[in-house]
């Protein structure tokens, strides 16, 4: 592999990993607050792709208004799911709410198949994002360079929110002791809603950035990215926001270089992610940035 090919794969892997990181943050934040693996998160990401198609192709919105529309629609969908499927089971056994999350995932996938058919839909072009930049032998669309920048900005903003605001203090309190936080007068429902708003906003942004260089959206297009981002959250340390970002970057880069170095294994790149999950659970179940005690499940 020559230098230009290496740099090309690095750029592609970092961009892909950045998109994974945004989705993984949603997983890790919901788990940090509710101890829930929101298996429907990948399908919310898929619905954001369809919202983008309808905003631009059907409603003829300018791309900058379409982005706002997609974020708002995705947030409303995520909050509605939390209120309808998760809130009534908040005091039920953990298995019940997890089954509910799996049920919501199937509901979204089958609803998308019914509403939009199972045929792939073309993802629209968003302004200048698909314009290709060339640096010698290296070329990539502008969105490839935008994605890591957006991810880092979102990470810094979230760390500030969690560590330096009253809402963040309340989120950390709820993640440490749900019942004690309730007794201290923290509005649990508001904090959970804020968590879903943040997670779904990031899923919407990630969908726009992820699908821009990938021209098709279909009802199951969120399944595999969603599972990979769950693995990224576990890899970094579930409940740890910087860990989710690290996990996303690692999986994106590793997946890109695996395909580049071993073209014959292109069809097995997804399997590599789950092998990595098994290895991590065997040797460091708390993740790369997780701690060995109960703090590993706290939002930080």
Write the pLDDT tens digit of every residue in 133-174. Answer: 888 778 888 999 999 999 999 999 999 999 999 999 999 999
- At residue 295, the pLDDT reads 47
Strands 216-217 and 121-122, by their bridges, are antiparallel
pLDDT-above-70 percentage for the chain:
96
pTM, two decimal places: 0.92
Q: Which two tokens stand for residue 115?
A: 């509403």
The span from the CA of 118 to the CA of 110, in Å, is: 9
β-bridge partners, 16: none
pLDDT digits (tens, 9 = 90+) for 227-253: 999 999 999 998 899 999 999 999 999
239 Rama class: left (phi>0) / alpha (psi -120 to 50) / beta: left
How many residues appear in the chain? 300
End-to-end alpha-carbon separation of the chain, Å? 39
Where does the pLDDT of residue 36 fall: very low under 50, low under 70, confident under 90, or very high at 90 and above?
Answer: confident
Q: Mean pLDDT across the chain, nearest whole number?
A: 90
Q: What are phi and psi of 4, to 5 degrees?
A: -65, -40
pLDDT digits (tens, 9 = 90+) for 37-70: 899 999 999 999 999 999 998 899 999 999 999 9
Alpha helices, DSSP H, located in 35-90? 41-53, 63-81
The span from the CA of 249 to the CA of 289, in Å, is: 14
DSSP code of residue 84 = I
* CB-count burial class (<10 Å; 0-12, 13-18, 19+) for 161: middle
- At residue 57, the pLDDT reads 87
- At residue 225, the pLDDT reads 94
């Amino acid at each position: 592999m020559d230098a230009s090919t290496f740099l090309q794969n690095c750029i592609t892997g970092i961009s892909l990993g950045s998109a994974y990181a945004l989705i993984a943050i949603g997983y890790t934040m919901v788990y940090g607050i509710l101890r829930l693996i929101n298996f429907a998160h990948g399908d919310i990401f898929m619905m954001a792709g369809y919202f983008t198609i309808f905003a631009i192709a059907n409603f003829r919105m300018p791309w900058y208004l379409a982005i706002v529309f997609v974020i708002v629609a995705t947030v409303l969908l995520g909050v509605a799911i939390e209120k309808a499927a998760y809130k009534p089971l908040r005091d039920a056994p953990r298995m019940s709410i997890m089954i509910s999350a799996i049920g919501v995932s199937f509901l979204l996938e089958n609803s998308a198949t019914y509403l939009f058919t199972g045929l792939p839909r073309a993802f629209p072009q968003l302004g200048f994002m698909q314009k290709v930049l060339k640096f010698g032998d290296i070329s990539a669309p502008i969105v490839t360079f935008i994605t890591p920048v957006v991810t880092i900005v979102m990470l810094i903003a979230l760390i500030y929110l969690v560590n330096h605001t009253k809402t963040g203090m309340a989120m950390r309190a709820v993640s440490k002791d749900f019942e004690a936080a309730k007794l201290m007068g923290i509005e649990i429902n508001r904090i959970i809603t804020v968590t879903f708003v943040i997670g779904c906003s990031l899923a919407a942004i990630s969908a726009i950035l992820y699908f821009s260089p990938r021209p098709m959206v279909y009802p199951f297009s969120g399944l595999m990215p969603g599972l990979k981002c769950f693995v990224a959250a576990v890899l970094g340390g579930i409940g740890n926001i910087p860990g989710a970002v690290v996990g996303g970057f690692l999986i994106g880069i590793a997946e890109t270089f695996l395909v580049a170095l071993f073209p014959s294994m292109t069809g097995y790149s997804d399997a590599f992610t789950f092998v990595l999950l098994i290895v991590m659970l065997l040797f460091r179940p708390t993740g790369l940035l997780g701690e060995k005690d109960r703090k590993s499940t706290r939002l930080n």
